Chain A
Amino acid sequence: MTLSLLVILPLLTTIAVLLCRGQYTVRLLSFAGVVMQLILSFVLLALYWKERAAGNTAPMLFVYRHTWFTALNIDYHVGVDGISVAMILLTAFVMVGAVLVSWKITPMGKEFFVLLLILSAGAFGFFISLDLFTLFFFLEVSVIPKFLLIGIWGSGRKEYSAMKLALMLMAGSALVFLGLVILYYAAGGHHFDMMAFAQSHPAAAVQRLVFPLLFTGFGIFTALFPFHTWVPDGHSSAPTAASMFLAGISMKLGGYGCLRTVLMLAPLAAEEYSPYIITLAAIAIVYGAFATMMQRDLKYINAYSSISHCGFILLGIGMGTRTAITGAVMQMVSHGLMTALFFATIGMIYDRTHTRMVEKLGGLLKMMPFIATTFVIAGLCSLGLPGLSGFVAEITVFMGSWQHPGGAYHFATILACASIVITAVYILRATGQVIMGPVKDPHYNGLADATWNERLAGILLVAGIFAIGVAPFWLNDLINK
């Protein structure tokens, strides 16, 4: 199968959306586009399984390579392994949800969908790239439209947030680019080929130099402490779909990048630097959770909890055992689905009640049982309830972390485990006030439950969460084989 279809399809959809007129056509086209992406991702999954079942043990499948810029040795080089397939599936799921919840977006619906589709093209391209330059290229593609999405359709301090998010992510990109350039020149060969680096790792000195740059750069994307402060502001100002993309996929770009750095580009340095990574991850997990406890705005709650949950990704990557890394990838997928669902329901609540403040909401279960139920499911997933994806991912990270032989690392793992209690506290506090309890405002009594498109988005994401939570073996095998 031609992997490039994954990038081409959203771009074609974008062009089609640009060419057509009328809000209704725009919606339908975008929806058709993302559904096709979802189907394509499932086809990819099936084909991947088929190849693996047939005994193909190549590290990357469906590789395609085409020279892009001869003079600098830059190729358009794509291919997937299990991790990429998992991330592609996640992206497709979240995109369908994002399009569905922004069904009635105003003003400039067309431009909104165009930007959203460009973002998804960037994400797909990022996850299939094997050439570091194209990787970086797609990373940038999936950053810049976010600035516009937040700045135009956002709420609250949107200009500030858009600027902050774009600048911090650009700073991350700059670090990544610096690292890549050093790799290009110092690691010999003058090439950007990730697979070549994976086969013959750069010299130890180069790794030591490059690793902090790449890891911090990608880390900024995935809310590495202390570079996480764009997360709360960016998420809370962004429109619902952008929040979903941001937390669901964009933060995973960083995680994926960190993972590739650790696994392929600089494994030696990763081991040397692992105490620092683990320390920062543990701080992010606990500190993020504590900070969440004090938030009053639902979007801030979810944004801060994302910092805490993305800490698990970094913890798993930092620990570096096979199980921990599997757990980190599972956490990426799980957190992506869960946080997208969370933002979607928060958006639905906000659309109806025009507030996101916890103390103003109450008793939503009475008039919007569907939204309330999905909110509770997202919350329970967040606090790691078995049967939902969050538990599976976290337990795998914990198990993998504990397998790391260092005694001090156990302490970090215990801290990470402790966060599940704090998570329970803030999730249940929010649920207790927003979903349960007496109805605080009589206006809320007449509010309607979810519309069909919102229901579809909710059901889709919940299905994803259950698919991982109830039967995690498929994802586990996908990542490991």
Chain B
Amino acid sequence: MNQIPLSHILFVSTALFFIGMYGLFTRRNMITMLMAVELILNSVNINFIAFNKYLYPEKLEGVFFSLFIIAIAAAEAAVAIAIIINLYRNLHSIDVEAADEMKF
């Protein structure tokens, strides 16, 4: 059977990246933004695995890296949610615009 060409997979991952990007820039809700970041990370995962499979089928580094990313994404989600909870406690909102203390 014919393999799906690499470009198709890259197309999917790029679409996923920009959807994540779009979400990150337009959503005001921090949870949504976190989800958007997850999408971006997953698009990177797809890239890693696709390149590993298509370019260096005998190696496993791409898979390892995507595993790393999944682990880091989990940790990141934990930290991010902790920050969001703290912000919510202080500001009674999870709107990203509300947290603007750190400006000039």
Q: Do chains A and B touch in the complex (CB under 8 A)?
A: no
Which residues of chain B have a CB within 8 Å of any CB of chain A? none
Residues of A within 8 A of B (CB): none
